[in-house]
């Protein structure tokens, strides 16, 4: 799962399209990047058989009608709202 997160973050590197750019995404994009990385980790957990929440498993398998990224974003926004 760790490697899934690392690979997801690496795939979002601005340096992939511009060799002079930063290796890491801009801090202004932290919410969007966090959603993508979290989704990759969750998908790997399901693939590895480590996910326990049936609704999440169904979401990853595309059987719930809800996109995993949308689910994570809503929860992320609620958490950040509590910290603001």
Distance CA 61, CA 49 (A): 13
Question: Which pLDDT belongs to residue 80?
Answer: 74
* Residues sharing a CB contact under 8 Å with residue 12, sequence separation 6 or more, in sequence order: 25, 33, 36, 37
Q: pTM of the predicted model, to two decimals?
A: 0.88
Render pLDDT for 35-65 as a digit per residue (tens, 0 to 9): 999 999 999 999 999 999 999 999 999 999 9
Look at residues 12, 6, 14 and name the one whose alpha carbon lies nearest to residue 44. 6
């Amino acid at each position: 799962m760790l490697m899934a997160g690392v690979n997801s973050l690496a795939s979002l590197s601005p340096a992939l399209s511009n060799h002079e750019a930063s290796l890491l995404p801009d801090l202004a994009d932290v919410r969007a990047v966090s959603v993508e990385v979290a989704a990759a980790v969750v998908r790997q957990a399901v693939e590895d058989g480590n996910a326990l929440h049936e609704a999440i498993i169904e979401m990853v398998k595309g059987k719930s009608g809800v996109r995993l990224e949308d689910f994570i974003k809503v929860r992320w926004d609620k958490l950040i709202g509590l910290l603001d």
